[in-house]
Amino acid sequence: MLFNSFLFLFAFLPLTLAAFYATRKWTSARVAVGLLVFASLVFYGYWKPIYLFLLLGSISVNYAFGRVLAVQSPSRKFLVAGVSLNLLLLGYFKYSGFLAGETNVLLGLSLPVPVVALPLAISFFTFQQIAYLVDCYRHAAQEKSFLNYCLFVSFFPQLIAGPIVHHKQIMPQISRMVSDSHLKPRFAAGLTLLSFGLFKKVIIADNFALYSTRFYDDAVSDVLHTGDAWVGALSYHFQIYFDFSGYSDMAIGLAMLFGIILPVNFNSPYQALSIVDFWRRWHMTLSRFLRDYLYITLGGNRRGTVRRYINLLVTMLLGGLWHGAAWTFVVWGGLHGLYLVINHAWSALLERLGCAAVMRNPLYKLVCLLLTTVAVMVAWVYFRAPDFSVANDTILAMTGGGEAGFSDGYRSFLSRAGFADSASLVTGYPLSPVWFMPLVFSVALLFTFTVPNSMEVLGLIAHNGVIRWRPSLIWALLCAAMLCCSIIGMFGSTEFIYFQF
């Protein structure tokens, strides 16, 4: 079930909210928790009911391991067994076909290649439960209530694509189900974030998706033009930004409707002045998971500079593979690993040279912003492209190796699709992509470089999860307008990008 669907917004969500508040008022918090678990299972099972057995089996096994690991002096073998079972489950469903196919290619074999449907959200609930097991082993987490643990894993606002939450972040809130004094401001803030996120997804991201999808579909067979390549690459650069920003807003907003605050997962990553800063802002909970449970486990920066750089590369390569069973994702992760190595080496060099004043210079910061933007955009080409050939041809065309200008077919498409179509309806004239697309991208760049994000508007970042924002008539009218526009646009909306991972 998609957040940006009529079924979810006008049936599932209202019924769940009404039932939750009714049971909470007339029964007990425990009944309300049970209701949310049931609703979350319905939400997950709507896609393919058969995979409910997979989710419930994973929850049950990890709960049992967690109880064993929470004892005073647990054996490390139980942790290894629990983590291994999770990785084997993820490996079978996500990578078995990929590994069999690559083995056939490398060794000239004819092994059967299994065709396994990827269960929704398996990457996210697997990582979340691995973190839980490690925290139990470290005596940083313990959960005795199976019902609460079910909600911790399956809570529908964050089940499909995160944020990846820790036990200590969510369980105290579930246990007390927050007092009535907190519910009203959180509910209003939740509705605001829901409207923000839906607008970003339906009106902005899905329009950029029209351009990027058409480009990458055509790029498989066509000779690439420089204009086509730049529009395709930039469109995906902004599509994934607003798509994931919109999802993050909606996930946190939906949780707030039930009185629960999830960790911030998106903090204006395109305002980052370095790749290190980018990964502190993009999918923040995944970044922290990779740092705390992989990079530090490999040794982090405790074993010298060379080993540190190797650990960074390994972490990002595995992070890329986590996104999907394809070498293009591995290259995307490898590029970011290389970026991080260069970033750390450059920072260390400037520190040794005593160039702290240079790093504070506004011109230097602008150059860093632009370099980071270009590096991220180039990596997104490999992330989005269907194969290496298309990715390499796209980069080549962007650097002058393709035919000049736009292809006739893509130029015609750009003049009548997405933002151009909406603008033409207002002006009454067809718009030339030669000047209109640069205008669109300039506005998008300015927005992502300068405008505060939704979490900053509500104060969730600066005040450590405490909402400083207050509703008003102006906010209500703005949110109503965004919702109206989004509802109209939902007829052609697509699923969130991170739902496929």
Residues tagged active-site: 323
- Using CA atoms, how far residue 418 sits from 200, 208, 349, 491, in Å, is 14, 7, 46, 14
The identity of residue 310, as a single letter, is: I
Any idea what DSSP says for residue 204? I
Number of residues assigned to the chain: 501
- Using CA atoms, how far residue 273 sits from 106, 343, 350, in Å, is 41, 10, 15
The identity of residue 292, as a single letter, is: D
Query: Residue 225: beta bridge partners?
Result: 403
Which of 316, 255, 183 is CA-nearest to residue 16? 255
Any idea what DSSP says for residue 5? S
Helix (H, G, I), strand (E, B) or coil at 225: strand
CA pair distance 73, 96, nearest whole angstrom: 36
Query: Residue 403: beta bridge partners?
Result: 225
CA pair distance 299, 186, nearest whole angstrom: 40
On whether the CB atoms of residues 100 and 91 are closer than 8 A, the answer is: no
CA atoms within 13 A on the CB side of 288: 15
Tokens in use for 345? 């080496």
Tokens in use for 47? 């896609």
End-to-end CA distance of the chain: 15
In Å, the largest CA–CA distance within the chain is: 74
Helix (H, G, I), strand (E, B) or coil at 421: helix
Tokens in use for 116? 């396994």
Question: For residues 52, 57, 62 and 67, what is the CA-based torsion angle, rounded to 10 degrees?
Answer: 120
The identity of residue 244, as a single letter, is: F
On whether the CB atoms of residues 242 and 342 are closer than 8 A, the answer is: no
The identity of residue 11, as a single letter, is: A
On whether the CB atoms of residues 161 and 499 are closer than 8 A, the answer is: yes
CA pair distance 360, 58, nearest whole angstrom: 49
